[in-house]
Amino acid sequence: MAGNQEVTRVLFQDFSAGAVRAFYAVGYAAIAVFLYGVYAQVRKYRRGAPAGVPLNLLPRFGSMLRIVLNHRMIKRRDRQAGEAHRSIFYGFVLLFIGTATITLDYDIMGPLFGVHFWHGDFYLWFSLVLDVAGVLMIWGLLYMMIRRGWIRPPKLDYARPDRAPGDPDYDRSFYAFEDWAFLWTLLTIGVTGYVLEALRLVWLQGDAGVWRTRWWSPVGAALAEGMRQAGLSDTAAGVMRRDLWWFHGLLALVFIALIPFTKVKHIFTAMGSLMFRDLKAAQRLPKEPADAAYPGAQYITDFNWKQLLNLDACTKCGRCHEACPARAVGAPLSPRDVILSLREFANQTLGSADLPPQAQLDVHGKGPGQVAQETLWSCRTCMACVEVCPVAIEHVPIIVKMRRKLVEDGAMDPLLRKTLQTIHKTGNSFGESKRKRAAWTKTLGFPVKDARKEPVDVLWFVGDYASFDPRNQKVTAGFARLLQQAGVDYGILYEGESNAGNDVRRVGEEGLYEVLAEGNITTLSAAHFKRIVTTDPHSYNTIRNEYPDFGGQYEIEHYTTLLLRLMQEGRVPIARQLKSRVTFHDPCHLGRFNKGYDAPREILRLIGCELVEMGRCRANSFCCGAGGGRIWIPDPVGAEKPAQNRMREAARIDGLQVFVVSCPKDLTMFEDALKTSGLEGRFVVRELIELVREALQTEDTAVAQAEA
C-alpha cells in the first residue's frame, strides 16, 4: 500500500531517556525474578528421585505440540471450557509472539544488525492480527468468568472430601482467589491494551500516517472514536496514555515475574507434563528399583521429578474429581485433592534453599499437605482420573506408589491383609485349594485340554473369579461350550494357573505381584500355544501390559474380540435375534485401560440387541467399585457403593431389560447392587457370553429349557 512504508508504532514515544531506562530496569528485574522462580521450581523437581523415563525429547516435543495446538484433551467432555480455553490460548500466544516480534525488532535486530522490519504492511497486518488475538483472549476470559462466577459447575467447587471442616487445611478457597486474580489480571492487561491503543490514536490523531491506518487496529480505533466523541483532547489522551502505559507495562511485567509462583506456571508445567507423559500410565505400573531402601513413597522426595512436575501441572479443572467413582459415593478421596495436597506439601518443603529434616518430609498422615491412609485405600485404580486429565497427570501411579509403603508397613484393612496372605498361600483370593481351580470343568460333559501337557492353539487364562465364584462359573462353562461349538482348539492351565496379579499390584504388594507374575510366566513358558484369550479383563490388562516387563511377552486378547471374530466367521451360528433393550457397561480394564469398546458392541448388534448407552460410557464408564483391591476391603456401613450408583444410572433408561457386563467382578458387583439398591425386577444383569448363548438357541429350545 503506497505511503504505508513508514507506518509503525514508535516505542517509548516521548518518553525521557530516564523513563526508558527505568522501564528496562523493571523489565530486567522482572525477568530476573522470573528466572529465579524457574530455578526454584527446577531445584524442587531435582530434589525428587530419578524418573528413568527415556527422554526422546524430539518426538515427545512434537507430540506435545500437537496436543497443545489442537486442544483435543481439554475439549474432551467439556466443549465449552475447551473452546474458551483455546481462545485464551491462541489469543495469548499471538499477543506473546507479537511482543516477542517487537522485542526482536527493537532490541535485537535493530541495534545489532541495523535491520528493522516492523513497519509498513507487515506492521499493519501485525496490528490487525493482534487486535483479533486480543478479542479472542478477552472473550475466552469473559466466558471463564461467567463459568466460575455464575454457571458454577460443581467440579469447580474446591470443597474436599478428604478433610473434615474443622481441619487446618480444609479450606481451599484461597485457590479461588488465585483463579480470579489470574482472570482479572489478564483481562485487565488485555482491556488496558486496547484502551492504550485507543488513547495513542487519539493522542496522535494529528499524525496522518497513524490516523489514516487506524482501522487496522479496529478495536482501538472504535474506542478512539468513542473517546473523541466524548470530548477527549489529544493532549489529555497523551497524558492518560503515558500513565496507563506504565500501569499496563508494570502489570504485565509483574505478571511475567510471578509466572513461576502462581497458577500461570501451568503454561510451562502443563507442557512439560504432556511432554513426559507415560501413555501406559495406569495400565503398566513401574517396577520397584532393586536397590530401594524401602518400597514406594514415604517422603515427598521419593516421588520422581516427573511426578513432581505433574503436581504443578494441575489447574484444578476438577475433571478427575468429577470422574472419580470413590468421590462420587462420598469416599474420602478426590484425585484432585491428592495432587493439590502433595503440591502444597512439595512447595512447602522443597521450595526453600535448604531441605528440611527428613522427618518433616513424610507425606503420609492427616497434617497439612499429607495424604491419609483412608484416602489412599479408597482408590479403585479405575484410571478415570488419568484418562480425563487434560495435562496428563498420572494420579494412579502416585497413589499406588504411596500404597506400596503402606503395604510394607502392614497398614491396611485386616480383611485385605488376610486376602493377600491367602493369595500367597493358595494362589487365589478365595483360599481354595489349587486343585479345585478347574473343578468347574467337571460340569461340562466334555474334556478340556490341559495346555501344560499338550499343545493348543488358544490358551484360555481363566482367572480367579471365573474359576471359583459359583455365579461366574456358569459363565465360564458357557464360554467353554461356545469355544467347543466353534471348534476352537483351546486348553487351560488347570492348577498351574495362579491369580494374574493385576489387583495385587494395584493394592501395592509388589513383592507378591512378582511372585505371581513370575510363577505364571514360568508355567506359560512351559506350555505350548499360539495366543492367549481371557474372560477376565484384569488378567488381560496385566498379562498384556505388565508381564513383558517380567519376561513374558504374549499375544493376548479379551474374549470379546475372539468371539466377535468367530461370529463373523460364522463359527458361532446365531439362531435368533434377541431384540432386548440393553445397555453395556464398559469394564475399566477392558475399555478405558485397553480401548476395547467396540467388539462387545458389535457382538450385541449381531445378536439383535437394541443398545442404549448410559451417559457415562466408553472411556467415561463408571467403575463398579471392585478394582484396586477394594473388593477385598469392606465398604463403610450405610454408604452408597459405586455399583449402586451405576444401577441407578441404568435405571434411568426407559424400558431397559438387560444390563450387560463382560467382566467377572462386574457381574458379581452389579448383581449384588441390583438387589441392594432396590431395583430388582426392573432389569437383569447378564454377562455378554450368556446373551450370546441365548441367541444360539431357537425360541423353542429356549422355552423348553426354561420350563425344564
- Select the residue interacting with other proteins from 478, 511, 519, 608 (CB under 8 A): 511
For position 453 contacting other proteins by CB under 8 A, the verdict is no
For position 457 contacting other proteins by CB under 8 A, the verdict is no
Residue 621 DSSP label: P
Candidate ranges 83-91, 235-243, 367-375, 404-412; the one touching other proteins (CB under 8 A)? 404-412
The runs of H, that is alpha helices, within 409-453 are: 414-426
Beta carbon of residue 495, minimum distance to other proteins (angstroms, whole number): 10
Beta carbon of residue 512, minimum distance to other proteins (angstroms, whole number): 4
Closest among 463, 458, 477 to 429, alpha carbons compared: 463
For position 681 contacting other proteins by CB under 8 A, the verdict is no
Beta carbon of residue 557, minimum distance to other proteins (angstroms, whole number): 30
At which residue does the C-alpha cell 494362589 appear?
427
How far, in Å, CA of 343 to CA of 362, rounded?
A: 13
Query: Are the C-beta atoms of 677 and 701 separated by less than 8 Å?
Result: no
Residue number, 295 or 491, with CB nearest to other proteins: 295
- Select the residue interacting with other proteins from 234, 278, 457, 514 (CB under 8 A): 514
Cell numbers placing 400: 499406588
Residue type, 311: L
Residue 299 DSSP label: B
Residue 437 DSSP label: T
For position 586 contacting other proteins by CB under 8 A, the verdict is no
For position 119 contacting other proteins by CB under 8 A, the verdict is no
Beta carbon of residue 631, minimum distance to other proteins (angstroms, whole number): 12
- Select the residue interacting with other proteins from 168, 435, 445, 706 (CB under 8 A): 435
- Select the residue interacting with other proteins from 424, 481, 576, 618 (CB under 8 A): 424
Beta carbon of residue 402, minimum distance to other proteins (angstroms, whole number): 15
Candidate ranges 172-180, 332-340, 375-383, 512-520; the one touching other proteins (CB under 8 A)? 512-520
Cell numbers placing 378: 479408597
Closest among 449, 428, 440, 462 to 532, alpha carbons compared: 462
Residue number, 100 or 415, with CB nearest to other proteins: 415
Beta carbon of residue 164, minimum distance to other proteins (angstroms, whole number): 22
For position 414 contacting other proteins by CB under 8 A, the verdict is yes
- Select the residue interacting with other proteins from 312, 387, 464, 510 (CB under 8 A): 510
Q: How many residues does the chain have?
A: 708
- Select the residue interacting with other proteins from 13, 103, 358, 433 (CB under 8 A): 433
Candidate ranges 148-156, 183-191, 257-265, 408-416; the one touching other proteins (CB under 8 A)? 408-416
Beta carbon of residue 415, minimum distance to other proteins (angstroms, whole number): 7
Query: Are the C-beta atoms of 341 and 397 separated by less than 8 Å?
Result: no
Residue number, 635 or 649, with CB nearest to other proteins: 635
Residue number, 442 or 652, with CB nearest to other proteins: 442
At which residue does the C-alpha cell 531435582 appear?
46
Residue number, 515 or 611, with CB nearest to other proteins: 515
Candidate ranges 430-438, 449-457, 558-566, 689-697; the one touching other proteins (CB under 8 A)? 430-438
Beta carbon of residue 505, minimum distance to other proteins (angstroms, whole number): 12
Residue number, 13 or 421, with CB nearest to other proteins: 421
| C-alpha dihedral sign at 282, 287, 292, 293 | positive
How far, in Å, CA of 277 to CA of 105, rounded?
A: 37
Cα 85-89-91 angle, rounded to 5 deg:
115
**In what side-by-side order are the strands of the sheet with 610-611?**
610-611, 581-584, 658-661, 684-687
For position 318 contacting other proteins by CB under 8 A, the verdict is no
- Select the residue interacting with other proteins from 133, 201, 412, 456 (CB under 8 A): 412
The runs of H, that is alpha helices, within 454-536 are: 464-468, 470-485, 502-507, 510-526
Candidate ranges 30-38, 66-74, 405-413, 553-561; the one touching other proteins (CB under 8 A)? 405-413
Beta carbon of residue 449, minimum distance to other proteins (angstroms, whole number): 22
Beta carbon of residue 665, minimum distance to other proteins (angstroms, whole number): 16
Beta carbon of residue 419, minimum distance to other proteins (angstroms, whole number): 11
Query: Are the C-beta atoms of 572 and 607 separated by less than 8 Å?
Result: no
**Residue list 247-306, contact with other proteins (CB under 8 A):** 288, 295
For position 415 contacting other proteins by CB under 8 A, the verdict is yes
Query: Are the C-beta atoms of 253 and 198 separated by less than 8 Å?
Result: no
DSSP SS3 for 530: coil
Residue number, 403 or 693, with CB nearest to other proteins: 403
Candidate ranges 182-190, 413-421, 541-549, 560-568; the one touching other proteins (CB under 8 A)? 413-421
Query: Are the C-beta atoms of 620 and 696 separated by less than 8 Å?
Result: no
How far, in Å, CA of 342 to CA of 312, rounded?
A: 10
DSSP SS3 for 382: coil
For position 417 contacting other proteins by CB under 8 A, the verdict is yes
How far, in Å, CA of 182 to CA of 80, rounded?
A: 19
For position 410 contacting other proteins by CB under 8 A, the verdict is yes
Cα dihedral 185, 190, 195, 196, rounded to 10, equals: 90
Beta carbon of residue 656, minimum distance to other proteins (angstroms, whole number): 25
Size of the site for other proteins (CB under 8 A): 27
Site string for other proteins, 610-649 (x = CB under 8 A): ------------------------xxxx------------
Cell numbers placing 218: 479496529
Cell numbers placing 594: 485397553
Cα dihedral 393, 395, 400, 406, rounded to 10, equals: 120
How far, in Å, CA of 350 to CA of 352, rounded?
A: 6
Name 504's Cβ contacts closer than 8 Å, sequence gap at least 6: 420, 423, 512, 513, 516, 629
Cell numbers placing 236: 489529555
Residue number, 35 or 439, with CB nearest to other proteins: 439
How far, in Å, CA of 693 to CA of 574, rounded?
A: 9
User: Interface with other proteins by CB under 8 A: which residues?
Assistant: 288, 295, 407-408, 410, 412, 414-415, 417, 420-421, 424-426, 433, 435-436, 509-512, 514-515, 634-637
